[in-house]
Structure 1
Amino acid sequence: MFMAADWVVKAVMIGLLLASLVTWTVAIAKQYELRKASAAERAVHDRVAGLRSLEEVAGAQQLGHVALVTEALEELKQSGNALADAEGVKERIASRFQRHEAREARRMTRGVAILATIGATAPFVGLFGTVWGIMNSFIGIAESQTTNLAVVAPGIAEALLATALGLVAAIPAVVIYNHFTRQITAHRALVADTAAAILRLVSRDLSRGMVRIGE
């Protein structure tokens, strides 16, 4: 059916097959990236939650270079002459954490938006191929001056194949997009939990007067 199809229908089918290939490539790559990032973030959160002060976090192996820890230490360093204003320090650190969470969310969603585009457009692209193929079939009827189904059936079958390929490309794209949306939301919540745990450590240190960074 593909080889006998009109060149426009062929182009539509090839485009939909490429879209399906992109969908599964993004799915595999993003699943690996999210699983790795979430496992690393969960390990950081579990370790941070068991410590009593930010100094312990900064000195712990594999935690001193964690982005959230670095953000907190940098703000404490820049606020070295204003540590008496504990609420102001915590507010500025919280602001840094919010920007970090936003950057992390943007990084995790990179490449996922194309799935939404494929899911939204693939059925209509397939429908375009179907309409074009059926139009050619009617032209064939007019040229052959016969309504014999055997004459037009192959063209109609080729046209309907385009619709089928559109659904094959769109349905997995939508399902995978929704799956990643949930996973990215869960990952961002985990980052927020880690940020909250570090902010609690900063708050404790400020209340104890234990912060010496930047002095």
Structure 2
Amino acid sequence: MDNINFLMYGEHAVDYGVMGALILMSIISLSLFIERMIFFKRVRMEEYEHRDLLEIDLTDNISIISAIGSNAPYVGLLGTVFGIMLTFYTLGDTGAVDTKAIMTGLALALKATAMGLVVAIPSILFYTIALRKIEKILTRFDVYYG
């Protein structure tokens, strides 16, 4: 396999593998956040006999949102490492310093990092908003039924 094919397949692996994983993580995070917000609006505190049972239902899937927010930068970093490795491999194999190839490879690597942050920042925001809503609902439960 020549350098062009290796670089092309490597770029596709980063684009479709890492970026695909990050897009999937983003979709999961957003959908769980929306589901939680709908649940919070519809929760009926009077149906719960004990605060802990309410808390179990309120915190369902919250840890997944947190895990996505925490791990998305690492997935992006993995894409960055792959992109830099591909760039250096191609440069080392050809033995020539091609500025265009270097810049293209580094841009690919940085795209993965940026996408990881684009997924992580809203996920952590979603998690924080959900935690605050949970605190408010549990406080209301304590005031009215505690």
On whether the aligned pair clears a TM of 0.5, the verdict is yes
The Cα shift of 1:67 comes to 3.3
1:184 aligns with 2:134: yes
> Aligned ranges for residues 66-105 of structure 1 at < 5 Å?
66-67=46-47, 71=49, 100-105=50-55
Alignment-derived partner of residue 5 in structure 2? none
Aligned residues: 139
Which residue among 5, 10, 22 is the counterpart of 2:16? Answer: 10
SS in 1 for 2:96: coil
Q: 1:179 aligns to what SS in structure 2?
A: helix
Q: Distance in 1 between matches of 2:14 and 2:100?
A: 22
Deviation at 1:3, TM superposition (A): 8.5
- In the superposition, the TM-score normalised over structure 2's length comes to 0.87
Cα gap change, 1:4/1:142 in structure 2, threshold over 3 Å: closer, same or farther?
A: closer
Instruction: State which structure, 1 or 2, has the greater radius of gyration over its C-alpha atoms.
Output: 1
Aligned: 1:154 with 2:128 = no
RMSD over aligned CA atoms reads 1.9
Report the secondary structure of 1:5's partner residue.
helix
**Equivalent residue, structure 1, for 2:3:** none
Q: 8 Å contact 2:40–2:133 — kept in the other structure?
A: yes
Identity %: 29
In the aligned structure 2, how far is the partner of 1:101 from the partner of 1:107? 10
Q: Distance in 1 between matches of 2:85 and 2:122?
A: 29
1:142 to 89, 92, 96: 92
Matched, 1:21 2:27: yes
Q: Distance between the aligned counterparts of 1:13 and 1:131, measured in 2?
A: 13
Matches of 1:23 and 1:134, distance apart in 2 = 28
User: Distance in 2 between the 1:182 and 1:153 partners?
Assistant: 43
Deviations 1:43-95 (A, max 9, x none): xxxxxxxxxxxxxxxxxxxxxxx435xx5xxxxxxxxxxxxxxxxxxxxxxxx
Q: Alignment partner for residue 163 of structure 1, among 113, 117, 136? A: 113
What TM-score results when the alignment is normalised by the length of structure 1? 0.60
* CA-to-aligned-CA distance 1:127-170 (integer Å, 9 cap, x gap): 01101110110011111211221122222211111111100110
Task: Flag structure 2 segments of 5+ consecutive residues without an equivalent.
Answer: 1-7
Q: CA deviation at 1:179?
A: 0.7
Q: How far apart, in 2, do the equivalents of 1:25 and 1:129 lie?
A: 24
| Aligned-pair CA distance for 1:23 | 1.0
Runs of 4+ aligned structure 1 residues displaced above 3 Å come to none
Tell me which amino acid in the other structure corresponds to 1:7. Answer: A
For structure 1, the residue ranges without an aligned partner over 5 or more in a row are 42-65, 72-99, 197-215
* Larger relative helix fraction: 2
Q: In the alignment, residue 150 of structure 1 is paired with which amino acid?
A: K
SS of residue in 2 equivalent to 1:168: helix
